[in-house]
Chains A and B, each alone.
Chain A
Amino acid sequence: MNEPRQAFYTSVQEGPAGNAGFQFVAASPGFEPTSLPGIERLLGYRPPEGSSPSPDADEIARFPVSRVFERLESGEYVFILTRYLGRDYSGRFGNYFAHVVAIDRRMAPIGMRPIDVFELDWWRRSGEAESRLPKLEFPSGVTRADWRPASTEAQSRTLASAIGLMVDQKHTLYIEDHEPAVTNWLELCYAVMPEFGWWDLTFTTYAADAVRAPGRIKATDPAQSIELQAYELRSTASLVSSVRESSGPTNPFGRITGSLIAEADSDSLDSLTGRIRKCRLPLTGDVMDAIAIASDGDPDLHDLSEDDLLATLQVVLQTGDEMFTVRHVGWIFAKLSPARSVDVAGLFEESISLDSGLAREIGKAAFGWLLENHDPSSGILRTTIGSMPAEWAEVWLEALGRSAPEGYARLLDNGLALSLATRTDQRRDLGAEIASGVVSGRTSIDVLSEVGPLPGEVIEGIVDFALSAELAETATKESFSHATVKAEVRAQMSDAGDIDRLLGLWKLARAIEVEPDDRSMERMTSLASSPEDAEAVLGAVLSSESGSFEIRTCLVRMCADCGISPGQTLMDDFEAGLLESRPLSREDLRELYSGLGRAGVRTDVGKAIQLTGLMPGSATDMQTMVKNASCILRGSTADYWKQEVANHVGRMAASVEDPRGHLELVREVSAYGEPWLELAYSEEMRARLSRRKEAELAGALIFLTWNEPGRSPLNAESRDRRLMALSEKQRSGVEAYLSRNDGLKWDAWCKRNPPKGRFARRRAR
């Protein structure tokens, strides 16, 4: 295809195929517009609203000429010039003449804009020449008269705003105006568009129904009054109209380019279009605004709002483009009012992935701005820092330490530096710095509460600092009475593996009113390995008001282990505690009384037995007493002490008649074969128990053996069978035991002693 192809379209009585009506009446050889999808639908003309249905020639001459520029799916560009003709062959109105030209873009000389094509001398404007197609040739170069906008500045601004929006993808610009103002608008559009975008700026200069017309710029006669609302286009279309004069500037791109156009500042316009061309981002409204602002560079000139500035900042961050410099960043922050709430953290977050040096500069500038304009105790700084990502926290800390030590100190004292540091690896150091601030009184411990959850390293740092020698002297209760610190101290006390540190922690805990838990004290006594350690622990613990019976137990044990005397006070307290407490466990007794009987240890047997809490009154008491006594005896080496205990137990046992208590005694005797107990039992017991009771005891022994805990209780049948197997003497003993003990009636006994363990499971099955 070497030259433009063309066709004429109008309504005739008899066209090339013999039909009447609208049709292509002439076409370049081989050019069949009807077979080119998309061309025919671009055709059409309706006179402007309100014009006479039967206009005369003068009126028709005043009707707007419609110029349509559109790109076809085939990639060709089509230009259509349509003029209203009035009557058709049948005398009815509605006829028009359209001259269609389709070209390959490469045919057009460089620098030619689509709108210039309509200025060529190609166009046939009436049906007169309809059978003869003109010869179409592009000129060798473009000679365009220097165009200067004839519109007002307000109009320029409005249009430029619209263009800013239009560059946004798929946005449509509607123009409501008369010719030649429409052409003027179009010229404006081309003036602010970079050359590479010219051939994307498709348009219709007149259509009665602009909304349905092709092109991204659609113009219509003001009489049509485009109601964007009605067509649901309000969010994606903008409207310019000299008839409905727009009152003022809208977006920065509009204002800045508008004034550039009005001032005919072609250098600035060139610079602007150059930047647009270089921009790698999608040309959204915000991006266009930012580019315009960056091109102009002086925010004071254009009365930019803070929203505009911040939007620009966003773009700067997104691009990291060389068109934006530190200078731009500087004046953006210079213009922001202190009261402005800026989501600085959010801004940075967006830019992190870019890894742009400029983004770091913005970080520093923004931080400087925040520090300068906001008191560290105010919420803005706190919120911003609170949401700062780690990468930026580092940037800020670095910037502060180097260039703004004063600001850093202020932040430090307000805990904000700590908040920042929580996201970096400078945590522990900062913890110490904060702690020193706390000790020196510069920083309030309450600040820590406001910082939010503190990372472990920081708290550890604070505790380390608190444990250091300097602090030991100066730490006050107020300085570190902070829930997080307390919790850390408490945790460390139960974990510490070093007796010295534990003692330090113990001291700190007391200072900040942390109640030492038993576990930590227990650890302390268990860690003490020398008499010196034990003394230190005793000193620390006994000087405190705390110290439960359990702790005293541990202390006594520690003293025994380390070979020092627990001292009168401790022992008195300890034994008093013992007397108050319930029977001790077997293990406790064994440990506590292993030393009894040794030289220097009190030998008050009555007291010792009392310490077991056993003044037996029932069989159960007696059983416990016997068990405890066995423990004491096993841990003791002194025979006289054993004798004392045995005698005491014997006396106590004699007062108990329930054979089950004696049974326990009998078991201990048989299990360990202690001669003293045998003696005590046989002599004392036998004296106390009648023959009948003796037989009963034997029967009880038999019965209870049958029904030992953990075994399935015998049923009546089994019991009888077993009774039958016993000797006469044994049987009468068992029966006597059963009949004497109402509470041990067989059925009731079974009920009280439900089967356990595998028996229960078996029964359940």
Chain B
Amino acid sequence: MTLRCPFCFEAIPRGQAAFRCTGADPSRCPPVADEALGAFRRRPAEMLPPVTVVSRRLSLRTSTTVDCFQCGKPTTKAVCPRCHNTLPTHFMRTGGRSLAVIGAKESGKSHYVGVLINQLMHSVLGKYGASINAADEYTKSRYARDFRQILYESNQVLPATQSAAADGGLHLPMIFRLQVGTEKQKSALLVFFDTAGEDFERLETLEAEASYVANTDATMLVLDPLQIPSVRDQLGDQVVLPSVTTDPLDILSRTTDLIRERTGLPPNKRIDRPLALSFSKIDAIRGLLKGSPVLRSASHGVTFDAGAAEDISISMHAHVGEWIGSSLDQYVQANWSNVHYFGFSALGRPPVGGQLVGGVAPLRVEDPILWLLSQWKLIQES
């Protein structure tokens, strides 16, 4: 498996590792201008302790420490050899699995990520003998500040995600460590990219997200049924509708083109990474989903129930045809080889004036990620 830096998404050459000096004494190990990190942050290079790059066979798996080339002090702080971002502990050994969550503005991407992580941490994964926790300080503080505090403590909806083009010019991923099993433990880093809807509406802003959208191990397209004209018509005044409508095919086709362009995939070949087409906010369209297995509450065993997931996928697939027509499905079939349909509700009920009355009550948010974990053989399938 090619190891990709979770920040710059460049492949880390086999046998290469880099470490930043952690020597506390700047007079013995004077900081140097870190051009690589500066280029990544699109900022003038800052003065930082020097990075020592080592090239030796097996260094990734066997060596966790190296002596700083400048001051000779041992350091264990691994950084990406390309962009010099600090890698999560054991990243070089375990590698990472990354998921880009894309979708139109207001489709519910951030809510999905925020609620999903809480569900994984507190209720779902335990049944699979697995656990998840933040892999670095940035993730820990960002999740606490930007998600948990707002959703679970203040019971508010999340603010709009800022464009990656603004806000310093880049989005950093949230990285979690997944550990499965107790004795023969499997471990992987899950890298989540939450994106801003408007970045997928303009080609120039898509560029800001391009590196990771094109290189993640899986893609999740969040489809807001309330932005689909036929659904809006059927619902009438029953629910508060989003202010905009976006054709999900636009976003998917831009993403597909981007992946093809960046990975050099010829047009006659399909993209083989998993694509989870997920309908959000299904609580608002219960009436339209009568009898669908997606409305049943999930029952988790020790293995991933592939049969139940398949039922849901077939059901949601049928609804897509019904609501959007065959164009999306045809496009997906022509370009993606491993597609599954899902439905979820992150909040469980519509917010009232930005308030989550009664708190967060998610419905089937974990389905897509469990499917991906089984695809990646991190949990067993029944």
Residues in B188-241 with C-beta less than 8 Å from chain A: 196-198, 201-202, 204
B156 sits at the interface (CB 8 A): yes
B319 sits at the interface (CB 8 A): no
Known: A43-B167, A172-B46, A235-B31. A92 touches B162 (CB 8 A): no
Asked if B354 and A41 sit within 8 Å, CB to CB, the answer is no
Asked if B165 and A232 sit within 8 Å, CB to CB, the answer is no
Asked if B157 and A92 sit within 8 Å, CB to CB, the answer is yes
Please indicate the chain A residues that have their CB under 8 angstroms from the CB of B33 in the complex: 170
A377 to B26, CA, bound (A): 38
Question: Could you give, for residues 5-45 of chain B, a 1 whenever the CB lies within 8 Å of some chain A CB and a 0 otherwise?
Answer: 00000000000000010000010001101000000011111
Asked if A212 and B354 sit within 8 Å, CB to CB, the answer is no
Residues in A70-97 with C-beta less than 8 Å from chain B: 87-95
Asked if A92 and B168 sit within 8 Å, CB to CB, the answer is no
Q: Is the interface of A mostly helix, strand, loop or mixed?
A: loop
B160 sits at the interface (CB 8 A): yes
Known: A21-B197, A236-B31. A90 touches B106 (CB 8 A): yes
Residues in A234-253 with C-beta less than 8 Å from chain B: 234-236
A9 to B198, CA, bound (A): 14
Task: Mark the stretch among A12-20, A390-398, A550-558, A633-641 that contacts chain B.
Answer: A12-20
A746 sits at the interface (CB 8 A): no
Task: Mark the stretch among A47-55, A475-483, A539-547 that contacts chain B.
Answer: A47-55
Known: A21-B201, A41-B166. A90 touches B31 (CB 8 A): no
Asked if B163 and A22 sit within 8 Å, CB to CB, the answer is yes
A735 sits at the interface (CB 8 A): no
A57 to B38, CA, bound (A): 38
CB distance from A48 to the nearest CB of B (A): 11
Question: Across the two chains, which residue of chain A brings its CB closest to B157?
Answer: A92
A214 sits at the interface (CB 8 A): yes
Please indicate the chain B residues that have their CB under 8 angstroms from the CB of A40 in the complex: 163, 165-166, 169
A230 sits at the interface (CB 8 A): yes
CB distance from B292 to the nearest CB of A (A): 28
B272 sits at the interface (CB 8 A): no
Question: Across the two chains, which residue of chain A brings its CB closest to B34?
Answer: A232
Asked if A94 and B156 sit within 8 Å, CB to CB, the answer is no
CB distance from A15 to the nearest CB of B (A): 9
Which residue in B48, B49, B244 is a CB contact (below 8 Å) of A13? B244
Asked if B105 and A233 sit within 8 Å, CB to CB, the answer is no
B47 sits at the interface (CB 8 A): yes
A92 to B157, CA, bound (A): 7
CB distance from B47 to the nearest CB of A (A): 4
Please indicate the chain B residues that have their CB under 8 angstroms from the CB of A19 in the complex: 198, 201-202
B154 sits at the interface (CB 8 A): yes
Please indicate the chain B residues that have their CB under 8 angstroms from the CB of A54 in the complex: 154, 156, 354-355
Known: A34-B204, A235-B47. A20 touches B137 (CB 8 A): no
Please indicate the chain B residues that have their CB under 8 angstroms from the CB of A52 in the complex: 154
A312 sits at the interface (CB 8 A): no
CB distance from B178 to the nearest CB of A (A): 24
A616 to B48, CA, bound (A): 94
Asked if A94 and B159 sit within 8 Å, CB to CB, the answer is yes
Please indicate the chain A residues that have their CB under 8 angstroms from the CB of B197 in the complex: 20-21
Asked if A41 and B137 sit within 8 Å, CB to CB, the answer is no
Which residue in B165, B167, B170, B242 is a CB contact (below 8 Å) of A90? B242
Please indicate the chain B residues that have their CB under 8 angstroms from the CB of A89 in the complex: 243
Known: A20-B105, A41-B42, A52-B154. A236 touches B167 (CB 8 A): no
Residues in A160-176 with C-beta less than 8 Å from chain B: 170-172
CB distance from B183 to the nearest CB of A (A): 35
Residues in B297-317 with C-beta less than 8 Å from chain A: none
Asked if B48 and A233 sit within 8 Å, CB to CB, the answer is yes
A21 to B196, CA, bound (A): 9
A268 sits at the interface (CB 8 A): no
Please indicate the chain B residues that have their CB under 8 angstroms from the CB of A4 in the complex: none
Please indicate the chain A residues that have their CB under 8 angstroms from the CB of B44 in the complex: 170
Question: Across the two chains, which residue of chain B brings its CB closest to A216?
Answer: B44
Question: Could you give, for residues 1-45 of chain A, a 1 whenever the CB lies within 8 Å of some chain B CB and a 0 otherwise?
Answer: 000000001010100010111110000000000100010111110
Q: What's the tally of chain B residues with a CB closer than 8 Å to chain A? A: 47
Please indicate the chain B residues that have their CB under 8 angstroms from the CB of A94 in the complex: 159-162
Asked if A170 and B137 sit within 8 Å, CB to CB, the answer is no
A91 to B154, CA, bound (A): 17
Please indicate the chain A residues that have their CB under 8 angstroms from the CB of B170 in the complex: 41
CB distance from A250 to the nearest CB of B (A): 15
B158 sits at the interface (CB 8 A): yes
Please indicate the chain B residues that have their CB under 8 angstroms from the CB of A170 in the complex: 33, 44-47
Asked if A22 and B166 sit within 8 Å, CB to CB, the answer is yes
Asked if B162 and A44 sit within 8 Å, CB to CB, the answer is yes
Asked if A214 and B201 sit within 8 Å, CB to CB, the answer is no
Question: Across the two chains, which residue of chain A brings its CB closest to B198?
Answer: A21
Asked if B154 and A236 sit within 8 Å, CB to CB, the answer is no
Asked if B48 and A236 sit within 8 Å, CB to CB, the answer is yes
A209 sits at the interface (CB 8 A): yes
Asked if A214 and B166 sit within 8 Å, CB to CB, the answer is no
Question: Could you give, for residues 203-235 of chain A, a 1 whenever the CB lies within 8 Å of some chain B CB and a 0 otherwise?
Answer: 000000100111000000000000000101111
CB distance from A118 to the nearest CB of B (A): 20
Please indicate the chain A residues that have their CB under 8 angstroms from the CB of B45 in the complex: 170
Please indicate the chain B residues that have their CB under 8 angstroms from the CB of A49 in the complex: 145
Question: Across the two chains, which residue of chain B brings its CB closest to A21?
Answer: B198
Asked if A20 and B198 sit within 8 Å, CB to CB, the answer is yes
Of B33, B45, B165, most A-chain CB atoms within 10 Å:
B165
Which residue in B26, B149, B162, B163 is a CB contact (below 8 Å) of A235? B26
Question: Across the two chains, which residue of chain A brings its CB closest to B163?
Answer: A22
Asked if B166 and A44 sit within 8 Å, CB to CB, the answer is yes
A22 to B33, CA, bound (A): 33
B150 sits at the interface (CB 8 A): yes
Asked if B167 and A44 sit within 8 Å, CB to CB, the answer is yes
Which residue in A53, A234, A236 is a CB contact (below 8 Å) of B149? A53
Please indicate the chain B residues that have their CB under 8 angstroms from the CB of A212 in the complex: 41, 168
A236 to B34, CA, bound (A): 12
Asked if B198 and A22 sit within 8 Å, CB to CB, the answer is yes
Asked if B156 and A21 sit within 8 Å, CB to CB, the answer is no
Question: Could you give, for residues 267-300 of chain A, a 1 whenever the CB lies within 8 Å of some chain B CB and a 0 otherwise?
Answer: 0000000000000000000000000000000000
A213 to B44, CA, bound (A): 11
Asked if B156 and A232 sit within 8 Å, CB to CB, the answer is no
Which residue in A20, A22, A41 is a CB contact (below 8 Å) of B243? A20
CB distance from A228 to the nearest CB of B (A): 12
Which residue in A13, A43, A236 is a CB contact (below 8 Å) of B46? A236
CB distance from B357 to the nearest CB of A (A): 13
CB distance from B51 to the nearest CB of A (A): 11
Which residue in B30, B158, B160 is a CB contact (below 8 Å) of A21? B160
Question: Across the two chains, which residue of chain B brings its CB closest to A14?
Answer: B244
Asked if A233 and B46 sit within 8 Å, CB to CB, the answer is yes
A460 to B49, CA, bound (A): 56
Question: Could you give, for residues 41-61 of chain B, a 1 whenever the CB lies within 8 Å of some chain A CB and a 0 otherwise?
Answer: 111111111000000000000
Please indicate the chain A residues that have their CB under 8 angstroms from the CB of B159 in the complex: 53, 92-94
Of A11, A41, A89, A91, most B-chain CB atoms within 10 Å:
A41
Question: Could you give, for residues 348-359 of chain B, a 1 whenever the CB lies within 8 Å of some chain A CB and a 0 otherwise?
Answer: 000001110000
Please indicate the chain B residues that have their CB under 8 angstroms from the CB of A233 in the complex: 46, 48
Please indicate the chain A residues that have their CB under 8 angstroms from the CB of B163 in the complex: 21-22, 40
Asked if B202 and A17 sit within 8 Å, CB to CB, the answer is yes
Please indicate the chain A residues that have their CB under 8 angstroms from the CB of B48 in the complex: 232-233, 236
Selected A-B contacts with CB under 8 Å, 15 pairs: A13-B243, A20-B201, A20-B244, A43-B166, A44-B168, A91-B353, A91-B354, A92-B158, A93-B159, A94-B162, A95-B160, A171-B47, A233-B46, A233-B48, A236-B26
Chain A positions within 8 Å of B, measured between CB atoms, are 9, 11, 13, 17, 19-23, 34, 38, 40-44, 46, 49, 52-54, 87-95, 170-172, 209, 212-214, 230, 232-236
Top 6 nearest A-B pairs by Cβ distance?
A94-B159, A21-B198, A41-B169, A235-B26, A236-B47, A44-B167
Known: A52-B154, A236-B31. 13 other contacts (CB 8 A): A13-B243, A19-B202, A20-B201, A21-B198, A22-B198, A34-B204, A53-B149, A92-B159, A212-B168, A230-B137, A233-B46, A234-B26, A236-B26
